[in-house]
């Protein structure tokens, strides 16, 4: 078999993978984990990347990470390097981080600042709006530079969050969620925040297992002693496990939030996005080991240290905890069928001084431990799923409804791209 035949075989296999995925998702048992291949098959992973990560809005970073004109950051979506930069008008833009000459990556660093964007290969130079402004004399007088600007990537910002979408055509609708996010994030003034500390974990597990693990706390009591010093396990006030004592605590704190004009009403947008403010354990302030302040300076206009945690979900790749004196954002980036990066950033007020206002190790301790524990859980989950003994198992509708919702969203999203009507996809309401 020639190399050409192997190439064609790969293409045929990818087409077959799409057919297999359509069948597996269409036939999957309601409220059960997915068939094995959807967690470990490289071709089905490629379909995930094509139909989910190349077409959906993805959390890419925070606007405070590109604070001034020329500030940039880079992110890798599969094999697609993306460049995010703030232009001289203050707008945050995104481009494919690919030179229009011969395709070299332009910005190699994860973050930086530059007057213009210059490719290191042949010094083709672009301004901060992506227009090609210099090629030297090699291309001749008749070369039309206006036709060779950087290829843009859809980019939207709200409440300090940056979302990108690599879709070639129109991206999915997201306006309603972004408007709500802007309102709910207003008290935090994230433009005047900074990243205090960051971690990157490589997990040997499929990205869906990483998200599934996050979407339930059924495992928390057996795995997360540090987290449960402050976190209440239930998901919101409608959680069937929520106690009368918790509901009373919520009502007391909700009155305080109302007095300070802090939004807290539970809102959701389909199964993709939800925002809910939840108290932490009574008497605690933030997610530190003792539940006390993580930073002396509060975020934005916040005055009440017992603000609880505002939880923000954005599928397919982010969950977040907004607290009174620092916020924690999480980003999930698939690498391969059984490898995923989980990036965590702790943000504080931009004027907070390390060593004086906050201790990075104290700030990160709880979630560093929790992330390591979750990595172990996801990796052991993956190893078991790879076994010949694996068969899909049942989810608890009361403890794992968040997982059910995620897989419903995932199935519906992929099948819609395959032309299958959403009404035929199983749905599960929030508990």
Q: What is the pLDDT of residues 339-379, one digit of tens each?
A: 999 999 999 999 999 999 999 999 999 999 999 999 999 99
Give the three-state DSSP class for 333. strand
Two tokens at 12? 């045929």
* Domains present along the chain, CATH in parentheses: 1-54+189-431 (3.90.380.10), 58-171 (2.102.10.10)
Q: Chain-wide mean pLDDT for the chain?
A: 93
pLDDT digits (tens, 9 = 90+) for 268-315: 999 999 999 999 999 999 999 999 999 999 999 999 999 999 999 999
User: What's the number of CA atoms in the CB half-sphere (13 Å) around residue 52?
Assistant: 29
Q: Does the pLDDT value for residue 3 go beyond 80? A: no
Containing 365, the helix (H) or strand (E) segment is helix 360-385
- CA dist., res. 398 & res. 431, Å (int): 6
Contact predicate 55/167, CB 8 Å: yes
Other CB atoms within a 10 A radius of the CB of residue 151 amount to: 12
Alpha-carbon distance of 82 to 113, in angstroms, equals 16
Task: Pick the most confident of 135-139, 225-229, 423-427.
Answer: 225-229
Q: Does pLDDT of 4 surpass 70? A: no
Specify the pTM: 0.94
Encoded tokens for 210: 């990483």
Residue 70 is predicted with a pLDDT of 98
């Amino acid at each position: 078999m020639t190399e050409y035949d192997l190439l064609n075989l790969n293409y045929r296999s990818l087409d077959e993978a799409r057919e297999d995925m359509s069948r597996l998702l269409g036939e999957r048992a309601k409220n059960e984990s997915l068939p094995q291949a959807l967690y470990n098959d490289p071709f089905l992973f490629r379909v995930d990347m094509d139909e989910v990560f190349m077409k959906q809005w993805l959390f890419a970073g925070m606007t405070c990470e590109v604070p001034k004109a020329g500030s940039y950051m880079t992110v890798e979506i599969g094999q697609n390097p993306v460049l995010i930069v703030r232009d001289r008008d203050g707008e945050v833009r995104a481009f494919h981080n690919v030179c229009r000459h011969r395709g070299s990556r332009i910005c190699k660093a994860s973050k930086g600042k530059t007057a213009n964007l210059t490719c290191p290969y042949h010094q083709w130079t672009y301004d901060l709006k992506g227009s090609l402004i210099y090629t030297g004399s090699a291309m001749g007088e008749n070369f039309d530079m206006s036709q060779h600007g950087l290829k843009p990537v859809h980019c939207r910002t709200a409440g300090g969050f940056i979302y990108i979408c690599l879709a070639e055509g129109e991206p999915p609708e997201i306006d309603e969620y972004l408007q709500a996010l802007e309102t709910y994030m207003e008290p935090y003034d994230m433009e005047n925040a900074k990243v205090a500390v960051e971690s990157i974990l490589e997990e040997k597990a499929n990205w869906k297992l990483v998200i599934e693990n996050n979407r339930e706390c059924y495992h928390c009591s057996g795995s997360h002693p540090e987290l449960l010093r402050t976190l209440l396990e239930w998901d919101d006030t409608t959680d069937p496990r929520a106690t009368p004592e918790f509901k009373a605590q919520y009502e007391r704190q909700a009155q305080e939030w109302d007095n300070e004009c802090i939004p807290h009403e539970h809102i959701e947008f389909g199964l993709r996005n939800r925002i809910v403010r939840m108290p932490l354990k009574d008497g605690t302030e933030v997610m530190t080991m003792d539940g006390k302040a993580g930073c002396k300076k509060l975020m934005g206009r916040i005055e009440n240290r017992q603000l609880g945690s505002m939880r923000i979900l954005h599928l397919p790749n982010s969950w977040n905890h907004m607290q009174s004196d620092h916020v924690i954002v999480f980003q999930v980036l698939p690498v391969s069928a059984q490898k995923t990066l989980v990036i965590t950033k702790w943000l504080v007020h931009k004027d907070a001084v390390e060593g004086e206002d906050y201790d990075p190790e104290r700030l990160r301790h709880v979630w560093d431990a929790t992330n390591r524990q979750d990595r172990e859980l996801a990796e052991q989950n993956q190893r078991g799923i790879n076994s010949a003994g694996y068969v899909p198992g049942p989810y608890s509708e009361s403890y794992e409804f968040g997982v059910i919702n995620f897989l419903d969203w995932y199935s519906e999203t992929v099948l819609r791209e395959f032309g299958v009507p959403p009404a035929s996809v199983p749905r599960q309401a929030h508990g």
